[in-house]
Structure 1
């Protein structure tokens, strides 16, 4: 047995159902680089996996076919390499001949990893794959074919929305997301690393729930030491990851990067028009596609403001790693070990940690609802901002939970290394938020001001009678 698969319960159920089904299955797994797609398939199907081929990044047709031939040799456990196919049509014929010897009463699994990379221009790969699936593979009830791709947008466009041979052929889609806080904690624990939740949260704020990044944490290191090692030391893994990350997912990645860079400057979010203007793009189909591609791959998220439509959507950079990298590492002068210890005491740390904590809360709305005891109440999570034209009081709410039971939780998210204290000034800001919100939205619902903090909120005179509910860091790990 290899490493245990942490979390991923819904995904494991799908993989299990596929094995037990009475017909051929084509499963597409989408998810960003290093999120654990291959690990999941190899780990879950280790008994049934008989052939695995991984596409080569930026390689031509001849290299891809040679690579396929080597994968076939490995699967056959043969000392002599089979002939290299001269086209993808021939490659799939070779594969069928090999699988014919393997398909008996038990299900067998075939994995095509980095599927988009196999499809080089004019190679006929997709057409050949579609033909193979339709004429042969789909008629083998014991055959389960898994295709994985980090280029989520390519997978969606070319496989899921394919108008040719693969039209409506995919039986299941798994979108593999980064770990939640709880899964990250469990993953670290499975590697013998026990950090308190404040440390896990700090780590998550910098690198997110990406298993491959979390794997770099060594025993006995604090969150500060890990961040220092990965981002600021000479050969830090996450120092060089940024340029590779976008290039490996998108063609013309420089456009995607410029959107991400603009959003990193405005953690509160930007409208589509603001992003397009800041990047100097022209509006149109190409731009729409850039946003879609980044969203499909989980780098940016779209938030629709309270009582508005998607036309008014605000985009935020939702990838913790990119936000951290662009704020502290990109073009930074200070480098070398110990850098993060110094930075973590500065002002830019405070503003970043506030935004990073908010973004994590927005990803953990189910856990927040559970903590508030409203898990089963239909709720819409959104944000809201009002900018006064006449210089009067404006207001911004980063998270509000609009509930079907006629209540709204207005959530204030505060990151702090001890219990948060509401002072006179902050109490006045809160009151202003609530009154501007009521006045502008004309809502008839009951408003519940809600604090979401790391270590709770001090119960002082500004708290009493003002704050109705509280959620702490412990709840986010729920």
Structure 2
């Protein structure tokens, strides 16, 4: 079943109906659904679409398989069976009259470049001499971020400046994830999203006719579950020095949030760690943050695990892999490790990410009380209270700020918490302050009285997040 991606499909259709040659570069991390989206798009234009998935085989083998699809779409003769190089394919296209719009989709195209360093210069020559004069919509899709950036964003490379469109496919938001689980309540959807994140493949594994507990045991804790070894699989697919990268992830997971703290835990050179952190960030596994409004203060940089399933795996699974590999049943392990407090504490950290998505959607739709130039976390010294302060989310411009508190607890947001939220306002130093409270259980009666009829206060429950 195909879910979501309406904007992306419209984008593809707009390029398809263009009156000129188009070359789209589609990229995004593994498991985000690039191939699935392209297959769905191609299914609506099957007779006009060459859909080819490259592999690590030789140029000859890839060309042979590509030509099978090209022959089907162009209804060409057996001449295509003899082609063995991409140059010969381009020559054939040059000599062929193409009257109708043709899609050429090459999935995992970076394999072609990795096996043939001349692939990019040959393609550049074909674009300039042949393809741009044809009624063709070319889509190159890949997951290797560093290779794609090197090929298309490096001004010294042949393909620089040749793409006409770029689409980085993002994971689903928590709202989009809800479509996978019509039988689950909003709170259950937030729980699943906090565990799996927005990867369509992961979301499709959970069955809403089962409880969340049953899904976790089946997919995450059992050695036969798809997600049990998923993190190791991803790291091996994306990276070479997997042990070192995993050491960084484990250090961050254990609470090391600064470069010095990570360096101390790992015992390795800081410059090397910073380089590897940058790779993990580009892959979407970790997040690098500076306090909102203070982007130039690099010394305040903090690191955290961005991907929800990475965070869940290192919190609940990795440290007890030996036990789960046969020493204890997944069901018993779940009953011991997944207490309400443990799960709520974990979800509480991911809840901030969810509330930030909500705020960014409001900003995109022009539904904030002002135009926000930046949205993010803030931490630092409170000049009035003379203490270190952390603000879950701030949306701000030069004059105004929305200061947000996110609480995923069993109790309503109370008056003491309201007082702490108000006391954080001097940290931001804006003329107009708004206070938004995101609370799983709403607010106490005392808070309701204090903020009644005050337009600069808003309260959002889980129900409101899905409205």
Normalising TM by the smaller chain, what interval? 0.7 to 0.9
CA distance in 1, matches of 2:36, 2:131: 24
Residue 53 (structure 2) aligns with: 54
Residue 475 (structure 1) aligns with: 464
> Can you list the C-alpha shifts for 1:334-372, whole angstroms capped at 9, x where unaligned?
554423354332543232121121222233322465899
Residue 12 (structure 2) aligns with: 15
CA separation of 1:8/1:99 partners in 2, compared to 1, >3 Å: closer, same or farther?
A: farther
User: Of 429, 437, 455, which aligns to 1:451?
Assistant: 437
Tell me if the contact between 1:263 and 1:270 (Cα under 8 Å) persists in the aligned partners.
Answer: yes
Q: 1:219-298 to 2 correspondence within 5 Å?
A: 219-266=208-255, 270-276=257-263, 278-284=265-271, 289-298=275-284
Q: Does 1:377 align with 2:371?
A: yes
CA distance in 2, matches of 1:278, 1:99: 59
Tell me if the contact between 1:449 and 1:466 (Cα under 8 Å) persists in the aligned partners.
Answer: no
TM-score, normalising length from structure 2?
0.84
Q: Does 1:168 align with 2:161?
A: yes
CA distance in 2, matches of 1:83, 1:287: 50
CA separation of 1:430/1:278 partners in 2, compared to 1, >3 Å: closer, same or farther?
A: farther
Tell me if the contact between 2:363 and 2:372 (Cα under 8 Å) persists in the aligned partners.
Answer: no
Q: Does 1:113 align with 2:107?
A: yes
Q: 1:8-407 to 2 correspondence within 5 Å?
A: 8-46=5-43, 47=45, 50-56=49-55, 59=56, 62=58, 65-77=60-72, 82-83=81-82, 85=84, 90-94=85-89, 96-97=91-92, 101=96, 104-120=98-114, 123-140=117-134, 142-186=135-179, 188=180, 193-266=182-255, 270-276=257-263, 278-284=265-271, 289-310=275-296, 311=298, 312-332=300-320, 333-334=323-324, 336-338=329-331, 339-345=333-339, 347-367=341-361, 373-374=367-368, 377-386=371-380, 393-403=387-397, 406-407=399-400
CA distance in 2, matches of 1:72, 1:336: 50
Tell me if the contact between 1:384 and 1:397 (Cα under 8 Å) persists in the aligned partners.
Answer: yes
TM-score, normalising length from structure 1?
0.82
> Can you list the C-alpha shifts for 1:68-90, whole angstroms capped at 9, x where unaligned?
422323443599993472xxxx2
RMSD: 3.2
Higher relative contact order (CA 8 A, sep 6+): 1
CA separation of 1:376/1:7 partners in 2, compared to 1, >3 Å: closer, same or farther?
A: farther
Q: CA deviation at 1:314?
A: 2.8
User: Of 405, 411, 436, which aligns to 1:412?
Assistant: 405
SS at match of 2:293: coil
Tell me if the contact between 1:70 and 1:81 (Cα under 8 Å) persists in the aligned partners.
Answer: no
Q: CA deviation at 1:155?
A: 1.0
Tell me if the contact between 2:372 and 2:395 (Cα under 8 Å) persists in the aligned partners.
Answer: no
Q: CA deviation at 1:43?
A: 1.1
CA distance in 1, matches of 2:5, 2:258: 33
Tell me if the contact between 2:25 and 2:163 (Cα under 8 Å) persists in the aligned partners.
Answer: yes
CA separation of 1:137/1:257 partners in 2, compared to 1, >3 Å: closer, same or farther?
A: farther
CA distance in 1, matches of 2:106, 2:387: 56
CA distance in 2, matches of 1:24, 1:364: 37
SS at match of 1:451: strand
Mind listing any 5+ residue stretches in structure 2 that lack a counterpart? none
